[in-house]
């Protein structure tokens, strides 16, 4: 935990929990998520060796992807090159340069707007800086590939953010993205899939555990319950109960069971709302958990 974070601004407690490298810091007493903007802990630009990525890859001094005008200006027809060509080639070159000029100014205009929107949504969701940067990078690549055409700028921004969250294991639900950006949930999902597929971005299925701290905090559950939920979750994963299921539903059900066991009962509806799933899904997961993990006794005992 960064040493300049000492106590919770809400209740003044120093009992803070730093959750891994997820950029999340949680107050154990009042449950406030402090979500510090952590240092950029990952620098893996490798999977993206598209031509564009090659061309605009950072070299030399660090730059940032959240500025719209970094380095993608005209790079056709730089001084020197052009005089090496014969007149025929030279004409072609001028045309190319003109074309690229148009495109790049269009791109820049788009980026300027889009990155402002991206910043707005990211700060609304209190996302760490590293995620914002990643999203900006994804968006930039998407614009350069012309993937935004036919789609609203905002939806691509939302999709890029969603992808960036997933990559950094700080998952937000589609509902949250939807609320923050005002874009329909399905639309975000669609552009997210489209963009990641087109850019060849590989995203691991999100791990239910990543959702636990945030859900637990939103429900004001105490830390024991939270760790109990994680414990249950791990058992569930070992029993192959989790594959193919929506991660949020599993996380929600684990929390629900953990809360029951620890005598901190929450209604299915409360948990469902926080997790963005329905009660029915919670029930289904919950039933499976009880059956396969033989937790029944523990739950009964508390009643």
- Give residues in contact with DNA (CB under 7 A): 186, 189-190, 193, 244-246, 249, 265, 267-269, 276-281, 283-284, 286-287
CA distance 68 to 85: 32
* C-beta of 26 vs 251, nearer to DNA: 251
Smallest gap from Cβ 189 to DNA, in A, equals: 5
CA distance 107 to 207: 35
Cα distances (angstroms) measured from residue 171 to each of 161, 204, 211: 10, 11, 7
Helices 268-275 and 279-293, interaxial angle, to 10°? 110
Beta bridge partners of 17: 26
Smallest gap from Cβ 146 to DNA, in A, equals: 21
Buried b (16+ CB within 10 A) or exposed e, 195-216: bbeebebeeeebbbbbbbbbbb
CB atoms closer than 10 angstroms to residue 249: 23
Smallest gap from Cβ 228 to DNA, in A, equals: 17
Smallest gap from Cβ 22 to DNA, in A, equals: 22
* C-beta of 148 vs 259, nearer to DNA: 259
* C-beta of 230 vs 277, nearer to DNA: 277
Smallest gap from Cβ 251 to DNA, in A, equals: 10
164 DSSP assignment: H
* C-beta of 165 vs 282, nearer to DNA: 282
CA distance 102 to 120: 28
Tell me whether residue 280 is exposed, middle or buried, using C-beta atoms within 10 angstroms of its C-beta: 0 to 12, 13 to 18, 19 or more. Answer: exposed
Beta bridge partners of 27: 16
* C-beta of 234 vs 264, nearer to DNA: 264
* C-beta of 54 vs 303, nearer to DNA: 303
Smallest gap from Cβ 288 to DNA, in A, equals: 10
Cα distances (angstroms) measured from residue 233 to each of 66, 87, 107, 197: 36, 69, 45, 30
* C-beta of 19 vs 172, nearer to DNA: 172
Smallest gap from Cβ 303 to DNA, in A, equals: 8
């Amino acid at each position: 935990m960064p040493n300049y974070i000492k106590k919770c601004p809400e209740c003044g407690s120093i009992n803070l929990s730093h959750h891994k490298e997820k950029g999340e810091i949680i107050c154990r007493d009042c449950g406030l998520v402090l979500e510090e903007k952590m240092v950029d802990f990952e620098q893996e630009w490798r999977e993206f060796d598209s031509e564009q990525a090659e061309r605009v890859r950072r070299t030399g001094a660090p730059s940032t992807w959240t500025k719209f005008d970094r380095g993608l200006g005209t790079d056709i027809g730089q001084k020197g090159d052009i005089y090496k060509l014969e007149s025929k080639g030279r004409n072609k070159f001028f045309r190319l340069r003109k074309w690229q000029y148009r495109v790049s100014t269009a791109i820049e205009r788009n980026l300027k707007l889009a990155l402002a929107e991206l910043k707005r949504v990211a700060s609304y969701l209190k996302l760490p800086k590293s995620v914002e940067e990643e999203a900006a990078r994804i968006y930039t690549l998407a614009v350069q590939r012309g993937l935004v055409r036919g789609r609203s700028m905002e939806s691509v921004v939302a999709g890029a953010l969603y992808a960036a969250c997933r990559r950094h294991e700080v998952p937000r639900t589609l509902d949250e993205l939807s609320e923050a950006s005002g874009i329909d949930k399905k639309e975000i999902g669609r552009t997210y899939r489209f963009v990641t597929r087109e850019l060849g971005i590989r995203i691991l299925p999100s791990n239910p555990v990543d959702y636990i701290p945030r859900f637990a905090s939103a429900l004001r559950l105490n830390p024991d319950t939270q760790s109990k939920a994680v414990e249950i979750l791990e058992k569930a994963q070992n029993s192959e109960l989790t594959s193919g299921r929506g991660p949020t539903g599993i996380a929600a059900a684990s929390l629900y069971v953990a809360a029951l066991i620890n005598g901190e009962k929450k209604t299915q509806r409360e948990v469902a709302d926080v997790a963005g799933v329905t009660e029915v899904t919670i029930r289904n997961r919950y039933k499976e958990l009880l059956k396969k993990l033989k937790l029944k006794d523990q739950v009964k005992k508390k009643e």
